[in-house]
Amino acid sequence: MLSRQQDPIVALASAPGRGAVGIVRVSSPQSLEPLVEALCGRALQPRHAHYLPFLSAQGEAIDRGLALYFNAPHSYSGEHVLELQAHGGPVVLQLLLARCLEAAAELDELGRPRLAALRLAEPGEFTRRAFLNGKLDLAQAEAVADLIDASTEAAARSAGRALAGALSVEVGGLRDALIQLRMLVEATLDFPEEEIDFLQAADALGKLQRLLVQLDTLLARSRQGAILREGIKVVLAGQPNVGKSSLLNALAGAELAIVTPIPGTTRDRLSQTIQIEGVPLHISDTAGLRDTEDVVERIGVARSWDAIADADVLLFLHDLTRLADADYQAEDAAIQARLSGVDPARLVQVFNKADSGAAPLQLPEGALSLSAKTGEGLEALRQRLLQQVGWQALPEGQFIARERHVQALQRTRGHVQLALQQAEHAVLDLMAEELRLAHDALGEITGAYTADDLLGEIFSRFCIGK
Ligand SMILES: Nc1nc2c(c(=O)[nH]1)N(C=O)[C@@H](CNc1ccc(C(=O)N[C@@H](CCC(=O)O)C(=O)O)cc1)CN2
Ligand SMILES: Nc1nc2c(ncn2[C@@H]2O[C@H](COP(=O)(O)OP(=O)(O)OP(=O)(O)O)[C@@H](O)[C@H]2O)c(=O)[nH]1
Ligand SMILES: [Mg+2]
């Protein structure tokens, strides 16, 4: 793994103002001993906790806390790391941070700064260094961010699995199988007259087929992991007064949205994340769809249409008590015409107010009937939402994955498939090329082959101090 000469960096490694304990963390390719001397007034034994005062330039205690020193490469970042674990107040932590920068600039007896070029860390820079120093691969580094951002317990657990290397281990197994095949094919290319025998003797076709099966299994697990990470965008839409806000409240189990008998109550989009079996659902309640002269409501309705376009799943609500009403039907016809642009696979028709005793009705295929008021039919709706996005809780446990991983796996699979076709026709040089491309695509997941701008994009989404 390439390792570059880097400036030393410092940051708060906890959200300021919230923690009871806050950490100021310094990471540096050069030794931090001169800085430790200034801040702690003594040397520290690596990997031991020392309780001591953190010293200002005047030698006063800014705080008393635990200091930890990690010698490179035995640290989180793989560099020399100093942690000052202090009381978590925002002001005291900012003082400590400023003191680190000040102490780094202080000159020693020879007129050199204690730690030249110490600067504040960029988002994700500690973890980026851990990656560059081979402490984590890219999939694990991404799992760090996903663990922090996890919005449900299931998402956190599966990020924990990915951080421990579950995805990386699977990818590594596939990579080893690919390498074996590549070696075999490359060797065979050197003896052209025996190509076919070679392939048969080594069962190349069988190996490729098994590789495809393994890729499919991993793809399935990664897709589930991506659902856990990203969650699902569910939008509640429909005419005014059909019960969209009531359904949001029922799903969330809280009175989030205002509900009244007055049509046009909701005028703006209101979103809430809930979970079903650990899957995060980002649910949006929207303004009822209708033509209106009210300027504010018009903007709200335009936002409803934006939300509809953006939904993974659109729950389109109908009011069972008004189905026979001529105005309602006319409005509905106009809306349904406009909805015809929505992918039917994303659309679920929901007939609300089933408790009202309204005339029983022949529901359209795939539609649900329920009552936001009594909760009847809600469980069926929950199951339908999971089914709609292809969620299955897998017995072996999914690990958090990103769309990026799913796409890299799909590309790998495509190349293995083509390699198999070439193998069937015994076109070995093309087969070798497809295997090489498959190998490259797989390598993108763990960061073996990753462009710098992708790394920049991945790490910039971390918080500062991570
Ligand atoms: N105080 C503190 N807690 C923390 C972190 C931290 O940086 N500081 N972490 C920040 O994310 C996480 C833990 N991550 C860490 C990862 C590796 C090493 C480390 O010292 N690794 C050495 C030694 C490993 C060993 O003893 O087995 C190494 O890799 O060589 C430390 C923390 C969560 N808790
Ligand atoms: N009987 C019955 N009434 C319901 C049900 N769901 C909602 N209502 C009533 O229908 C009326 C409108 O409910 P809302 O949830 O505000 O409807 P909405 O679709 O959000 O309406 P707008 O915000 O105006 O678009 C309220 O009086 C609710 O109490 C239900 O399942 N059964
Ligand atoms: Mg409403």
The pLDDT of residue 194: 67
305 alpha carbon – ligand 3 mean position (Å): 15
3-state SS record for 149-212: HCCCHHHHHHHHHHHCCHHHHHHHHHHHHHHHHHHHHHHHHCCHHHHHHHHHHCCHHHHHHHHH
Q: What share of the chain is helix, strand, coil (3-state, %, to 5)?
A: 50, 15, 35
pLDDT at residue 333 tops 60:
yes
pLDDT at residue 390 tops 70:
yes
The binding-site residues of ligand 2, defined as CB within 6 angstroms of any ligand atom, are 240-246, 259-261, 263-266, 287-288, 352-353, 355-356, 371-373
For ligand 1, atom 13, name the residue with the nearest CA: 76
Mean pLDDT of 73-94: 95
Q: How far apart are CA 15 and CA 176, in angstroms?
A: 41
Pocket test for ligand 1, best of 76, 83, 129, 133 (most atoms within 8 A of CB): 76
pLDDT (tens digit, 9 = 90+) per residue, 299-317?
999 999 999 999 999 999 9
Q: How far apart are CA 364 and CA 440, in angstroms?
A: 48
34's CB contacts (< 8 A; 6+ apart) are 108, 114, 115
Q: How far apart are CA 13 and CA 82, in angstroms?
A: 11
Give how far Cα 134 sits from Cα of 2, 5, 460, Å. 8, 14, 19
Pocket test for ligand 2, best of 255, 259, 294, 321 (most atoms within 8 A of CB): 259
Binding annotation for (6S)-5-formyl-5,6,7,8-tetrahydrofolate? 25, 83, 135, 466
- Provide the pairing of β-strand 368-369 with 50-55: unpaired
- What rounded mean pLDDT belongs to the chain? 93
204 alpha carbon – ligand 3 mean position (Å): 61
The pLDDT of residue 385: 96
pLDDT at residue 31 tops 90:
yes
> Which of the four pLDDT bands, split at 50, 70 and 90, describes residue 1?
very low
Neighbours of 340 (CB within 10 A): 8
The pLDDT of residue 393: 79
pLDDT (tens digit, 9 = 90+) per residue, 159-203?
999 999 999 999 999 999 999 999 988 888 877 666 667 677 778
The binding-site residues of ligand 1, defined as CB within 6 angstroms of any ligand atom, are 23, 70, 73-76, 83, 135
The pLDDT of residue 124: 94
- Highest-confidence segment of 61-75, 180-194, 223-237: 61-75
Lowest mean pLDDT among 6-20, 87-101, 187-201, 255-269: 187-201
> Which of the four pLDDT bands, split at 50, 70 and 90, describes residue 108?
confident
> Which of the four pLDDT bands, split at 50, 70 and 90, describes residue 431?
very high
Collapsed DSSP state (helix, strand, coil) of residue 298: helix
The pLDDT of residue 398: 78
428 alpha carbon – ligand 2 mean position (Å): 66
pLDDT at residue 44 tops 70:
yes
> Which of the four pLDDT bands, split at 50, 70 and 90, describes residue 251?
very high
Ligand 1 atom nearest the C-alpha of 68 is: 1
The pLDDT of residue 126: 97
Domain range 233-311+313-376, CATH architecture: 3-Layer(aba) Sandwich (3.40)
Q: Which residues of 271-288 are buried (b: 16+ CB within 10 A; e: fewer)?
A: ebebebebbbbbbbbbbb
The pLDDT of residue 52: 98
Four-way CATH pick for 2-136: 3.30.465.10, 1.10.760.10, 3.30.1360.120, 2.40.240.10: 3.30.1360.120
R_g of the chain computed on alpha carbons: 29
Q: How far apart are CA 202 and CA 185, in angstroms?
A: 10
pLDDT (tens digit, 9 = 90+) per residue, 352-388?
999 998 766 789 999 999 999 999 999 999 999 999 9
pLDDT at residue 329 tops 60:
yes
Q: Ligand 3 being an ion, which residues bring their Cβ within 5 A of it?
A: 244-245, 265-266
For the sheet containing 50-55, what is the strand order?
A: 50-55, 61-70, 80-87, 21-28, 9-12, 119-120
Q: How far apart are CA 202 and CA 192, in angstroms?
A: 15
Q: Identify whether the C-beta of residue 118 lies closer than 8 Å to the C-beta of residue 26.
A: yes
Mean pLDDT of 135-145: 96
357 alpha carbon – ligand 3 mean position (Å): 22
Binding annotation for GTP? 241-246, 260-266, 285-288, 352-355
Cα dihedral across residues 432, 434, 440, 442: positive or negative: negative
Q: How far apart are CA 161 and CA 140, in angstroms?
A: 9
The pLDDT of residue 3: 46
> Which of the four pLDDT bands, split at 50, 70 and 90, describes residue 2?
very low
Domain range 148-227+398-447, CATH architecture: Up-down Bundle (1.20)
For ligand 1, atom 27, name the residue with the nearest CA: 74
Binding annotation for Mg(2+)? 245, 266
For ligand 2, atom 6, name the residue with the nearest CA: 243
Q: Which residue has the higher pLDDT, 233 or 199?
A: 233
The pLDDT of residue 426: 83
Mean pLDDT of 228-240: 95
Domain assignments of the chain as residue spans, ordered by start: 2-136, 148-227+398-447, 233-311+313-376
The pLDDT of residue 23: 96
Q: Percentage of the chain surpassing pLDDT 70?
A: 96
pLDDT at residue 210 tops 80:
yes
Pocket test for ligand 2, best of 236, 239, 246 (most atoms within 8 A of CB): 246
Ligand nearest to the CA of 265: 2
135's CB contacts (< 8 A; 6+ apart) are 73, 76, 77, 78
381 alpha carbon – ligand 2 mean position (Å): 17
For ligand 1, atom 4, name the residue with the nearest CA: 76
